[in-house]
Chains A and B, each alone.
Chain A
Amino acid sequence: MVFASLVKKEVMVVLKSPAFIVGVVILVVYFSILGRAIGVATEQATREVVGSYVGVVSEDAGYVTCRLLQLANTTLSGRLIKVPTVEEGLGRFPAVVVVPRGFGDSLLRNSTLYLYGYVRLDSVSLAQSARVQLVNSVARVLEELSRALLAAEKGVNVSDILRTLVPRVEARVGGKVVDFNALTSLLLSVMMFVYMVGLLGVLTLMYSSQSVATEKEEKAFEMLLTLPISRTAIAVAKVVGAAVLSLIMVVAYFAGLSFILVSIGTSESAVEGQRVAAAASLWNLVQFLGGEGVALLALSLGLMLVFSGSLGLLVGALSSDTRVAGAMAGPVGVVLFAGLLASQFTGIPLSPLSSLLGASVYGLPLAILVSYVLGDITIALQATGLATAVTVLTVLAVIGVFDSERILIGVSLRRRRPG
């Protein structure tokens, strides 16, 4: 009863504040602009990758295939480089295509053509996933040229030739082969999840720091602390309250972002396509990770909320007023979220050392992703253990501060004047 009242009070005192409503509006606008900027940056990265060289392993020494590759190389401005093996090609170029034995015969028989693509992934990032476009662009050129070649052979119009070339792309990740389409969907899903969780975390941090600092400023804190309620209950109620408020804010953010996407969509079908892709992407994530992986991601969300709320309480508890708390919590939140943002472009190294990301708690979802991509569950478990340890230590620090007089007198470098 008392605890529910504590939580309700935590939510209501902020929810009724005009500053909260303004904050919602600012966040929707800010992240809409940010989302667009990220989209532009990703497009640029894709264009750069498409301009790269591609290794070619030809298993078919027949005349037709050799001629087709010559024409393709001319069409692609000499960006196709012959290499003896896939491994050697991936050592020199971001992508390698393999033209299989019998490719020319299939072409002349007008049966379905297959092309095998291999993409080297050095880290987990959206820009790296754009490397699949290299293989796709080679496949499209070969498809068009094979239609033209067959039309010339049969003396018919090119439009009369129905030709299908199926590129099968795999990613080489740390010596492992991963289906690229699944990996791309997975990357998008995880990045979405990471952004959402990161945003939740930063907002929770801000709200919990303000909940203490505002209460001090409103001169109600001392009365609250002398009530016969455990200080731990007060702290936990603040964390829960801050998490509820940040969930409301995140829902508002994604609603705003969806509205922007709908507004800038070129056609209804394109928007529908985005929705379908997002749903498929999330389903792929669930399928790829399985129950255990999804549970780990859910745990990472819980840890993030508790960690952020506790960190915010520490900031608020050690601050004298909202201005100081804002000045402290703002940079902390920006640093944590900017780290996530930067990781999209710099990439997360695909190595067991990625488990160290768990120490930041915010990086835990990324470590779980790396773990599942590499197929090494110990990375996820180590990262989760680290994140749990950091969160528990933060909670213990909060309980310690709430039980001490530091909660009241804060931290000051100046000499205190006694009352």
Chain B
Amino acid sequence: MSSSIAVDVRDLVKVYPGGVRGVDGLSFGVAVGEIYGLVGPNGSGKTTALRIIATLLKPSGGYVRVLGFDPVTEATRVREVIAYLPEEAGAYRDLTGLDFIRFFLRARFSGRRLEEAVEEAVRIADLGSDIRRPVRGYSKGMKRLLALSVVLASRPRLLVLDEPTSGLDVERSLRVRNLVREHARSYGATVLLSSHNMLEVEYLCDRVGIIYRGRLVAEGTPGELRARYSARNLEEVFLRAVGG
């Protein structure tokens, strides 16, 4: 595998107990330092693919490498270099936001480096005095920012973000997108995100993979895809790619 490839997925298959196929022959690659978006409708296999890459699920078949490591046999190595933000990630409701940040960052840092990471996460979350209140009083947007702050302050080589702006208002969605983009640019991190929001992906991602029924049906930069399908935006690209 080339050292310039952060995520290498080939012919990935995931069959859940009961026979449902989560992904069915999915192939795509993400270059180091790139922001790559997997887009597709609900149930298309985005979350399944991200969970396999994040070592949470085991593939039924195919080939997956994350920064050169196998997520099944080298799961701990993969966890050391990635940070995963699940869809609707929450927090322990009876801990304060600060307790939550400190707990998660302690798994990666210690001593002075830990304090610096905590400070960075508090700055990213930007929750003011609410950071010292129990999470149970937080809004959905506040919880999302809290979880994202931990993921970004972990300074991983690969950020795996599942629907990072799902359920957020326009203002917070913009803030999250800007944070992700700034982080990737500042630290050279690779970002793999999923979304069913085509406009978001068009704004944020260097390259896009359109996933439908567990397979990749189109891939390229937003501009390439628009030109290839003679479309005005990614929504039209998607509809034409899946034959709608």
Seen from chain A, the residues whose Cβ lies within 8 Å of a Cβ on chain B are 1-2, 5, 9, 12-14, 16-17, 215, 218-220, 222-230, 404-405, 408-409, 412, 414-419
Contacts and interface: CB of A to CB of B under 8 A. Distances in A.
Which bracket fits the contact residues of B?
35 or more
Nearest 7 A/B pairs, CB to CB:
A419-B47, A219-B90, A418-B22, A16-B94, A222-B86, A226-B84, A227-B107
Contacts of A9: 92, 95, 99, 103
Contact of B89 (A219, A230, A416): A219
B234 to A, nearest CB: 20
Interface of B: 14, 16-23, 42-43, 45-48, 51, 54-58, 76, 79-80, 82-95, 99-100, 103-104, 106-108, 110, 134, 147, 150-151, 214
A228 B134 CA distance: 26
Contact of B82 (A2, A220, A226): A226
B163 to A, nearest CB: 10
A194 B92 CA distance: 34
Residue of A2, A230, A419 with highest tally of chain B CB at under 10 A: A419
Nearest to B77: A228
B83 A226 contact: yes
Nearest to A415: B18
Given A220-B89, A419-B46, A1 B17 contact: no
A330 B21 CA distance: 34
Given A1-B106, A222-B84, A418 B45 contact: yes
Contacts of A405: 56-58
B124 to A, nearest CB: 15
A418 B151 CA distance: 25
Nearest to A230: B76
A328 to B, nearest CB: 19
B137 to A, nearest CB: 13
Given A227-B108, A228-B79, A230-B76, A220 B90 contact: yes
B107 A218 contact: no
Nearest to B53: A226
B108 A416 contact: no
Contacts of B21: 418
Contacts of B48: 418-419
Contacts of B86: 219, 222-223
